[in-house]
Structure 1
Amino acid sequence: MQLRVKHLVLTLLAAAGLAAAVAQATNFSLWINGRTGGGQLGNHADFTYWGPSSANGGVNKKSVNWDGYNHISDQNYLVRDALDCYCTGTNWCYVAAHSAGDLMIGYTLAMYGGSTRYKKTPTPNSGGSCSNSDGTTQTGWNIKWVDIAAGAGGGSELSNAGSWALSEPLVSDLKTTTARAMYDHNNTRGKWFYMYAGASGTAYSFILPGQDDEAVAYHSSGGVAGTGGSALCNPSDWLCNDLKLGTAANEGGSTKWSNHSVAFRDDNEAYNHYTNNNWAGVVSLVRKDMELNAK
């Protein structure tokens, strides 16, 4: 009888421990900025790049600030630190990225998504890194999915043409041939990238092929594979091939990178590239999706 009671007590304690572990699991929404940066490095509460911090950007939103100036490889540690903090152990993340932030998260997953990571306690120090939780490790990070606004993973012809300051190390990364050769864009470690492509281009339309948002063309914001940029448009434009929604091959036969899906194509040409420090442009669509679905 005593043995049976002992087993019952141990079972109840184990169940309580499991319930406590589950209760401590937390979801986070990580926002990765693009070129020019603006937020304080390591301060995950600083949303200067995006807009008012009061905006709903998904559950437990965090701003993964990098300087938006130096090479992707040089600044990547800041992103890895944030992913270690919030996306290991029992915790999971939703990720949103803008512009060159697409290049940053793609690089991170391809180059480090199969590496051994220590599980962390999600309380970062002033530099944005966290302490180990229990000394155990895991492979890669717990990421549910990735939303990309005006993605520059395929580079921009503005960088090719020198329309941006050539002294910026990041600008050399954003050349179309360089961006596309920087890492294996197909290797997302099984994480889905949902692409939001804007088409309210104006002044630079003669440099950017096909439809564009003033900074990147559809071939990049639509996650289109290949070694260089191709001209892709909305169905209403008869002058070039259509960018297709979802994972479907585009008109003319070009394809998307693996695990890349076009969630939004700007058929009405209403959204440009820029946040205007107010969650504006294509970012407004991603913010809304994170509000509704990152829970």
Structure 2
Amino acid sequence: MNERFANGRQFLLREGRLLERRLFATCFEGASGQGVLDALRGYANDDGGFGYALEPDKRCPASLPLDVEGALAAMATAGAADPDLIRRACDYLVGVTTDGAVPLAFPVIEGYPRAEHFSEWTYEPGLNPTAGLAGLLYKLGVDHPWLPAAAAYCWKQIDTAELPTDAHALREILVFLEHTPERDRAAAAAADVRAALDRASWFRLDPADPEYGVSPLAIAPTADSPWRALFGEDVIQGHLDRLERDQQDDGGWPITWEPPGRAARLEWRGVVTLESLRTLVSYGRLDPAR
């Protein structure tokens, strides 16, 4: 096994959550995606949503749309879907939707430790996370009444409103555009989103920029991503060089923001380490077998 890959694996086995360990086993060791679904059930609530810090920056047990997005993303990564879990999660989304959109979180998080960036702005329904949720549901082949209404909201915002000025929201739009069945419409819209990225806050085009932000590899995390073509190949390779250099002596990758505690930091490092390994393997920078 490649030494750098093996070091990342050891970090996950030593420090990662059960969910990331299950995802690693599914992505790289031939394990069934059923283990990922089993791990996700531990984050599910009776209302159909997901909580319990599935997204580690808020330690709230209550269901939040952001945690539903995390659950869907894990299923998509594992290539495994539980129809009942998804149906109940979509039913939950129906109950918290306003005019087709959901927010990231709700004020209930204020009773629990959370990162400073979780504040009132996260309570406003918007493309982040509605577009990402809709895109993941399309990817998972879901048929539920919440999806057409959410997609209509997304298209209305993309077609008639000014695009967001935050790179996180633009990345969510690109998840939606990657998986919507309206392919010609998506291709046309992607060019506008790419132009908006250059003006967006938190976008980090320069691989030498040490600050937190959304990089091209966050938008095109795999070599076959349709959004790889939005960036010059020199930019992609520069960010891959940076990603390789960022691996720490303990085998994991660092994070560039302040989480609410030590447990959250380790959980996030597990998430980021798995993402980094998957990206480097996909782009041919790491070969697990050598």
Same fold by TM (over 0.5)?
no
Under a length normalisation based on structure 2, what TM-score does the superposition of the two structures give? 0.29
* Greater radius of gyration (CA): 1
Q: Which has the higher contact order (CA 8 A, sep 6+)?
A: 2
Under a length normalisation based on structure 1, what TM-score does the superposition of the two structures give? 0.29
